[in-house]
Structure 1
């Protein structure tokens, strides 16, 4: 089988596929002023999603994550989900969501082929949750996680962006929460983007601090799977759940990169903090372009840089995380 491999020997098994830029939350670290449309956007259609997924699968991709914005705002979300899940070669279909529709639809999405779920919960304090997300929906989101546990997903992860001065004192509460729940709690370092320089300076919290606390409390680091995300994962014999840390400012973070991104407008992004993107949409309109699409993906990958330049304060052209799916 042909394979996606870059000039540094890294192989790519994981596609993060954005299906919309639109989001109904106003998270301080992403869209503090809410979603602001730039004209009338024509996001990828279901046939286009199916074609791009087939092309990646033909090159060894085994895992697809649907992202946004908030993916479940799409009226045809279930159809999109099914088309990805039915693609030969795709073994894992994941979703990153703010969870506001989860309580109602968890079983339906599971039945449609969703296997792995990530829900954003930046605080277990309803008031802090409201402050960070701009929405007073904490209890609705938590009810969604309960519904997801009942629906029997292969994996449920809860994402929390580390924010100094806001939720950075909640580690004990989150550890208590996963003690008897088969959920992986993931802490994500705040990443600098073009629209939030001052916010980053005020609230950036290093994940290394939490890592050292975990190791001191008997947590042990787990082995990383080849199609896993970028998190360093930890387990503890006394806990049913686990912990993950995503630390993009850590040494050698990019060495294990195994994921590529396609935006909701059909551009391939080789890095979350990279270039303007490689146009794919001109090849997504008909099945006869499939071989050319595969060739373009392979060619584009040879221009992928060895690392991002976040350490230098360079976040590339990314204005905010919702623009290419985080």
Structure 2
């Protein structure tokens, strides 16, 4: 489950009883004032409480998604990495990606290579882990740290060839590519009581139409697509 973590802490025990065993929590800053500026509400302390509660309850993995933007939170990269020293958490640095409404600008993009260089210069024993063929992240472990660090490099080193992700949206549409505007409705055939084999055919046909790679960050920025808040984590 991907969540902003604001009200998560009190729900975690019940969610675990229901079978949930892993969480992705979005957090772009460790500075409460920045958090309030970006989200337009207080709640940084509650998000941190949710992260710690998930760890204490044995959720595994506990991932923290952090979109890095130049001039906003790129000075916090090492602070986020420090969290992995004592916490078995996976910090995932995400390149700033263009979506409707997020005022994307390439000048705000901090490339993966630059982020990794910052980490390597600060920490010793940074080692690349073996990634699964369908992983969307490049994963690293640092000597002496309980947790791990990952980079999602969608803009500068795309991983389209190995991406097996499909996204089902809240309105019943699904996307075969996060950056593509194309969507296919599953809601409508479900409301017509479509058989399972019909749904498999619809999904299979959409997957076969998936392109080999996304269009590149500059073309993506000019393409109409939903805001990420409407797509979901």
Asked if structure 2 preserves the Cα contact closer than 8 Å seen for 1:123 and 1:170, the reply is yes
Between stretches 313-322 and 236-245, larger displacement belongs to 313-322
Determine the structure 2 residue equivalent to 1:283.
189
How do 1:76-95 and structure 2 match up within 5 A? 95=1
Q: Pick the aligned partner of 1:225 from 132, 140, 154.
A: 132
The answer to which structure, 1 or 2, has the higher relative contact order (CA under 8 A, 6+ apart) is 1
Q: Distance in 2 between matches of 1:298 and 1:145?
A: 37
Q: Pick the aligned partner of 2:77 from 171, 181, 186.
A: 171
What is the Cα-based RMSD across aligned positions, in Å?
Answer: 1.9
Runs (5+) with no aligned partner, structure 2: none
Post-superposition offset of 1:195: 2.6
SS of alignment partner, residue 268 of structure 1:
strand
Aligned length: 230
SS of alignment partner, residue 301 of structure 1:
helix
Runs (5+) with no aligned partner, structure 1: 1-94
Q: Pick the aligned partner of 1:206 from 95, 105, 111.
A: 111
Tell me if 1:260 matches 2:166: yes
4+ runs deviating over 6 angstroms: none
Q: Distance in 1 between matches of 2:102 and 2:78?
A: 28
- Per-residue displacement from partner, 1:9-59 (whole Å, max 9, x unpaired)? xxxxxxxxxxxxxxxxxxxxxxxxxxxxxxxxxxxxxxxxxxxxxxxxxxx
Q: Pick the aligned partner of 1:318 from 215, 225, 232.
A: 225
Q: Distance in 1 between matches of 2:193 and 2:226?
A: 33
Q: Pick the aligned partner of 1:182 from 88, 96, 102.
A: 88
How high is the TM-score relative to the length of structure 2? Answer: 0.91
Asked if structure 1 preserves the Cα contact closer than 8 Å seen for 2:77 and 2:119, the reply is no
Q: Distance in 2 between matches of 1:183 and 1:256?
A: 24
Q: Distance in 2 between matches of 1:176 and 1:188?
A: 17
SS of alignment partner, residue 62 of structure 2:
strand
